């Protein structure tokens, strides 16, 4: 695939004198026009001629060169101001289809990352609070970016920056001291802790002494004393992590490092000194700040130390950032965090800029839009949340019902439950990665539980159908290894667009990773499946002339590989039947 584009580019380059690297080939609006397109407008000024004339002229010149090898011919066709190129169909099919199937799970793998580190800060739930639908986005966006970078030869490092520090732990400890006995924290920790947290806020309004107890508890925690408070904190952390892990397992997500804010506790002092040493800090209203108005007019300063000398969120994040740079010398450090924290990351980067650290551009805030309910914002304290586990459970239930309806034999078999899990969870994950990450989303049950149209199950179903054809080919003795027939590539002439799409998979991964935008991949998969389904609705694969069947099976197999790989990148299972 790449080969054809390169040949075209070098040919244009030698005919026009333009650097081949600067030439960008497009996709013709209408696939019947050709496989690649080059608009000639850009040459008009230089050659002092009208674009259509240039196109016609270039077509003649290029055909002489690109057509020289009759067995690997590329045809140049001038269409108005455009120069379109049509690759030899058999060559294209062979190169793309065999390329994908022989590479298999490694299709699209490159070493362009050179083993460079990509730090991905993702998920980051808060201890003692439930994971809700809002946490899903960070987790699966981060996981998808992880897999894509890995495929491109980078060495990703995922870090779960658990929210395990801060004044809210004082509140929790105080609440447990008071009413802990009334709740069964061990049995079902998260709801119990949530209830305690909510109760603290309710009762603290009437009883201010509670706030003081909370502050005292947090002071003890911060002091480093290994007493009762710390023991409680440690226990809370362990219980919560065990709960989170259940969800991570269902989502197929793992972390290289689980480092909460507390992990950076002993690095705060050195971090402050490091920043102070560059002379960018100053005193303001008794607090220690870094002024950022030189970065952007009226930008709020970064607060590093409160009046009372204690540290803040930004201080701890700066400590984390330096720690990560020192440890990994990352090529990119991706913060997969909601767009509501945009300013916070601009401030962190602003401090790096003022310190004149040249690696500042490598720190990127991969912001995503807010999840809201039809009634308004999510709020843990107000109880306006949709628990992630409930969403997954309901989706799996729904999937089981659909399978029982559409495929009763499968539902009754050993793996019926397993496939329901894969389809249900897949629907949720795919749905969340479907749109551009920056867009806000309103959580709607009927939308996330939809299995038709542009959904995860649609893609999974397409994959299952392809697998089914391959299974049947095996049974009838028509599979490639069995029949031994040479593919007659003219039998897939009607699938040109589809073949080109398959060839574009590696590039899709590349741009999705570069833009930190997995939706490029979900959209690609939806388009690919639409093309595949449409194609085989009209083209019979099995039982045709051996050469025809061989060629079409090659297409089916390549499509199967690409869909399966793409889903794997997203963390969505690809069942072979459903």
Partner RNA sequence: GCGCCCAUAGCUCAGCCGGAUAGAGCACCGGAUUUCUAAUCCGGCGGUCCCAGGUUCAAGUCCUGGUGGGCGCGCCA
Site for RNA in 1-30 (CB under 7 A): 26-30
From candidates 10, 63, 235, 511, binder to RNA by CB under 7 A: 511
From candidates 115, 453, 477, 481, binder to RNA by CB under 7 A: 453
- Minimum separation from the CB atom of position 35 to RNA (A): 10
| Contact call for residues 55 and 40 (beta carbons, < 8 A) | yes
Query: Which of 278, 357, 272, 285 lies closest to 319 in space, CA to CA?
Result: 272
Return the bridge partners of 118, or none. Answer: 156, 332
Distance CA 516, CA 543 (A): 44
- Minimum separation from the CB atom of position 187 to RNA (A): 27
Kindly report the number of other CB atoms within 10 A of residue 310's CB atom: 13
Stretch that binds RNA, among 294-302, 350-358, 383-391, 489-497 (CB under 7 A): 294-302
Site for RNA in 30-89 (CB under 7 A): 30, 33-34, 37, 39, 41-42, 44, 51, 79-82, 84
| Contact call for residues 151 and 108 (beta carbons, < 8 A) | yes
Site for RNA in 117-176 (CB under 7 A): 126, 163, 165-168
Please tell me whether residue 523 binds RNA under the rule CB under 7 A.
yes
Q: Which is nearer to RNA, 268 or 568 (CB)?
A: 268
73 φ, ψ (degrees, to nearest 5): -80, 140
Please tell me whether residue 312 binds RNA under the rule CB under 7 A.
yes
From candidates 6, 342, 486, 493, binder to RNA by CB under 7 A: 342
Please tell me whether residue 356 binds RNA under the rule CB under 7 A.
no
Site for RNA in 470-509 (CB under 7 A): 472
Query: Which of 577, 489, 574, 576 lies closest to 252 in space, CA to CA?
Result: 574
Please tell me whether residue 344 binds RNA under the rule CB under 7 A.
yes
Maximum CA pair distance of the chain? 89
- Minimum separation from the CB atom of position 238 to RNA (A): 19
Stretch that binds RNA, among 113-121, 479-487, 528-536, 559-567 (CB under 7 A): 528-536
Say whether 79 sits in a helix, a strand or coil: strand
Distance CA 123, CA 81 (A): 49
Stretch that binds RNA, among 68-76, 102-110, 353-361, 465-473 (CB under 7 A): 465-473
Helix spans in 268-377 (H): 268-277, 313-328, 342-354
From candidates 464, 492, 554, 573, binder to RNA by CB under 7 A: 464
Please tell me whether residue 539 binds RNA under the rule CB under 7 A.
yes
From candidates 146, 248, 330, 451, binder to RNA by CB under 7 A: 451
| Contact call for residues 337 and 124 (beta carbons, < 8 A) | yes
Site for RNA in 219-278 (CB under 7 A): 261
CB hemisphere CA count around 118 (13 angstroms): 26
Site for RNA in 396-415 (CB under 7 A): 399, 402-403, 406-407
Q: Which is nearer to RNA, 249 or 447 (CB)?
A: 447
Helix spans in 379-451 (H): 388-406, 408-412, 416-434, 445-448
| Contact call for residues 329 and 387 (beta carbons, < 8 A) | no
- Minimum separation from the CB atom of position 459 to RNA (A): 9
Q: Quick one: how far is CA 315 from the chain centroid? A: 28
Q: Which is nearer to RNA, 246 or 342 (CB)?
A: 342
């Amino acid at each position: 695939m790449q080969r054809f584009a390169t040949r075209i580019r070098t040919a244009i380059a030698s005919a026009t004198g333009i650097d081949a690297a600067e030439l960008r080939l497009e996709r013709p609006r209408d696939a019947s026009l050709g496989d690649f397109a080059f608009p000639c407008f850009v040459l008009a000024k230089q050659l002092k001629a009208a674009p259509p004339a240039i196109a016609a002229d270039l077509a003649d010149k290029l055909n002489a060169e690109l057509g020289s090898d009759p067995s690997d011919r590329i045809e140049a066709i001038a269409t108005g101001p455009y120069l379109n190129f049509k690759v030899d169909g058999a060559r294209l099919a062979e190169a793309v289809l065999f390329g994908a199937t022989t590479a298999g799970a490694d299709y699209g793998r490159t070493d362009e990352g050179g083993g460079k580190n990509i730090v991905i800060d993702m998920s980051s739930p808060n201890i003692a609070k439930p994971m809700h639908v809002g946490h899903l986005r960070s987790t699966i966006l981060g996981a998808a970016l992880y897999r894509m970078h890995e495929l491109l030869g980078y060495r990703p490092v995922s870090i779960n920056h658990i929210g395990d520090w801060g004044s809210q732990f004082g509140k929790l400890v105080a609440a447990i001291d008071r009413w802990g006995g009334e709740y069964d924290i061990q049995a079902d920790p998260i709801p119990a802790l949530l209830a305690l947290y909510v109760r603290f806020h309710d009762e603290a309004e009437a009883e201010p002494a509670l706030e003081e107890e909370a502050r005292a508890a947090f002071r003890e925690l911060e002091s480093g004393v290994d007493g009762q408070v710390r023991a409680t904190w440690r226990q809370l952390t362990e219980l919560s992590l065990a709960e989170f892990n259940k969800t991570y397992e269902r989502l197929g997500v793992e972390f290289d490092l689980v480092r909460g804010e507390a992990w950076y506790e002993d690095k705060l002092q050195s971090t402050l000194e490091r920043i102070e040493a560059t002379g960018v800090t100053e005193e303001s209203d008794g607090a220690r700040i870094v002024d950022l108005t030189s970065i952007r007019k009226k930008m709020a300063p970064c607060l590093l130390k409160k009046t009372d000398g204690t540290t803040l969120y930004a201080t701890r994040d700066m400590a984390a950032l330096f720690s990560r740079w020192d440890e990994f010398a990352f090529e990119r450090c991706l913060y997969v965090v909601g767009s509501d924290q945009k300013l916070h990351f601009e401030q962190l980067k602003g401090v790096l800029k003022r310190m004149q650290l040249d690696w500042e551009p490598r720190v990127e805030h991969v912001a995503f839009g807010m999840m809201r309910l039809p009634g308004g914002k999510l709020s843990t304290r107000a109880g306006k949340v949709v628990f992630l586990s409930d969403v997954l459970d309901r989706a799996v239930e729904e999937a089981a019902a659909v399978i029982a309806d559409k495929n009763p034999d499968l539902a009754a078999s050993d793996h019926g439950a397993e496939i329901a899990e894969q389809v249900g969870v897949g629907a949720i994950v795919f749905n969340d990665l479907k749109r551009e990450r920056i867009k806000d989303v309103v959580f709607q049950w009927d939308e996330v539980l939809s299995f038709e149209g542009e959904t995860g199950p649609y893609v999974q179903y397409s994959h299952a159908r392809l697998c089914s054809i391959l299974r049947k080919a095996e049974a009838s003795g028509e599979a490639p290894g069995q029949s031994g027939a040479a593919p007659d590539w003219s039998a897939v002439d009607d699938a040109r667009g589809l073949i080109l799409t398959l060839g574009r998979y590696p590039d899709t991964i590349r741009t999705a990773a570069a833009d930190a935008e997995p939706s490029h991949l979900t959209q690609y998969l939806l388009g690919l499946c639409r093309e595949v389904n449409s194609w085989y609705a009209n083209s019979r694969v099995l039982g045709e002339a051996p050469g025809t069947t061989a060629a079409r099976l090659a297409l089916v197999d390549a499509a199967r590989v690409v869909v399966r790989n793409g889903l794997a990148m997203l963390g969505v299972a690809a069942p072979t039947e459903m």
